[in-house]
A and B are shown apart, each in its own frame.
Chain A
Amino acid sequence: MRVELRNLCKRWGNVVGVDNISLEIKDSEFVALLGPSGCGKTTTLLMIAGIYKPTSGEILFDGRIVNHIPPKDRNIGMVFQSYALYPHMTVFENMAYPLKLQKVPKDEQRRRVQHVADMMGIGHLLDRKPGQLSGGQQQRVALGRALVKDPELLLFDEPLSNLDARLRLTMRGEIKRRQMELGITSIYVTHDQVEAMTMADRIAVIKDGKLQAYDTPDELYERPRTLFIAGFIGNPPMNLINGVEVVRDGEEYLARHQAFCLRVPAERGKHVAAKGEVILGIRPEDISLADDGQDGMRGEVYVVEPLGRDDLVNVELPGNTFIHFLADPALRLKPGTPVALCFNTEKVQFFDPRTERSLLWH
Chain B
Amino acid sequence: MAIWVETERTGGLSRQLRSSMAYVLLIVSIIPILVGYAWLLIATFSYRTEGLLPKDAEGHVGGWTLANWAFVTDPLIWRVTLNSLLIALAMVVGVGLASSLAGYALSRMNFVGRRGFLSMTLILHAFPSVTLLISIFFVLQAISALPGFGNIFGYNTVGGVALVMVSLDLPLGIWLMKGFFDNISWDMERAALIDGASRFRVWWEIIMPQIRPGLAALAIFTFLTGWSAYLIPATFTIGTKVSNLPVYINYLMSETSPTNWNQIAAVGLFQMIPILVFFFFTQEKLLNIYSGGTKGGV
- Is there contact, CB below 8 Å, between A80 and B187? yes
**B215 CB to closest chain A CB, in angstroms?**
13
Please name all residues of chain B whose beta carbon is closer than 8 Å to the beta carbon of A46 when the two chains form the complex. Answer: 190
Is residue B197 contacting chain A, with contact meaning CB distance below 8 A? yes
Beta-carbon contact of A82 and B196 below 8 Å:
no
A72 & B193 in contact (Cβ 8 Å cutoff): yes
Residues of chain A within 8 A (CB-CB) of B296 are 87, 129, 131
With an 8 A cutoff between CB atoms, is B269 at the interface? no
In this complex, the member of B192, B194, B196, B206 whose beta carbon has the largest number of chain A beta carbons within 10 angstroms is B194
Across the interface, name the chain A residue whose C-beta is closest to B295: A131
* Centre residue among B193, B196, B197, B206 by max chain A CB count within 10 A: B196
With an 8 A cutoff between CB atoms, is A130 at the interface? yes
CB <8 Å contact, A101 and B197 = yes
State A51–B108 Cα separation when bound (angstroms). 12
Beta-carbon contact of B197 and A81 below 8 Å: no
How many interface residues does B have (CB within 8 Å)? Answer: 21
Our pick among A51, A70, A74, A86 for the contact of B190 (Cβ within 8 Å) is: A51
CB distance from A89 to the nearest CB of B (A): 8
Query: B194 touching A76 by the CB < 8 A rule?
Result: yes
The answer to the question of A145 belonging to the interface, with a C-beta cut-off of 8 Å to chain B, is yes
Q: Are the CB atoms of B188 and A86 closer together than 8 Å?
A: yes
Alpha-carbon separation in the docked complex, A84 to B192 (Å): 9
Asked if B59 is at the interface of the complex by the 8 Å CB criterion, the answer is no
Contact indicator B297/A80 (Cβ below 8 Å): no
Is B195 in the interface zone, CB < 8 Å from A? Answer: yes
Question: Within 8 Å of chain A (Cβ to Cβ): is B210?
Answer: yes
Given contacts A88-B210, A88-B297, A129-B296, A102 and B185 within 8 Å (CB-CB)? no
Residue of A nearest to B189 (CB): A84
Let me know if A97 and B195 touch, CB within 8 A.
yes
- Taking the complex as formed, is A8 at the interface, i.e. its CB lies under 8 A from any CB of chain B? no
A contact residues around B194 at 8 Å (CB): 49-51, 71-72, 74, 76-78
Cβ-defined contact, A131 with B297, below 8 A: yes
Residues of A within 8 A of B191 (CB): 78, 80, 84-86, 142, 145
Check A72/B197 contact, CB under 8 A, given A87-B210, A129-B297. yes
Are B187 and A88 in touch, CB under 8 angstroms?
A: no
Q: What residues of A have a CB within 8 angstroms of the CB of B196 in the complex?
A: 72, 98, 101-102, 149
Q: Please, how many angstroms separate the alpha-carbon atoms of A88 and B213 in the complex? A: 12
A-B contact count (CB 8 A): 83
A131–B298 Cα gap in the complex (Å)? Answer: 6
A84 touches B193 (CB 8 A): no
Is B11 positioned at the interface, with any CB of A under 8 Å from its CB?
no
Q: Does A138 contact B (CB under 8 A)?
A: yes
Q: Which residues of A40-57 are within 8 A (CB) of B?
A: 46, 49-51
CB pair A83 B190 closer than 8 Å = no
Contact B190 A49 (CB under 8 A): yes
Q: Is B12 in contact with chain A by the CB < 8 A criterion?
A: no
**Contact at B201–A130, with CB atoms within 8 Å?**
no
What residues of A have a CB within 8 angstroms of the CB of B298 in the complex? 82-85, 87, 130-131, 138
A82 in contact with B187 (CB, 8 Å): yes
A318 → chain B closest CB, angstroms: 52
Flag whether B209 is at the interface (Cβ < 8 A).
yes
Pick from B185, B192, B209: contact of A97, CB below 8 A.
Answer: B192
Chain A hits for B192, CB < 8 A: 86, 97
- Contact between chains at A78 and B297 (CB < 8 Å): no
CB under 8 Å from chain B, chain A span 70-127: 70-72, 74, 76-78, 80-88, 97-98, 101-102
The residue from A70, A82, A101, A129 contacting B195, defined by CB atoms under 8 A apart: A101
The chain A residue sitting closest to B212, CB to CB, is: A88
Bound Cα distance A119, B201 (Å)? 29
**Chain A residues near B (Cβ < 8 Å):** 46, 49-51, 70-72, 74, 76-78, 80-88, 97-98, 101-102, 129-131, 138, 142, 145, 149, 157
* Other A-B pairs, 4, CB within 8 Å; known A80-B187, A88-B297: A71-B194, A72-B197, A80-B191, A85-B191
> What are the 7 A-B residue pairs with the smallest beta carbon separation, nearest first?
A87-B297, A84-B187, A101-B196, A72-B196, A84-B191, A98-B195, A88-B209
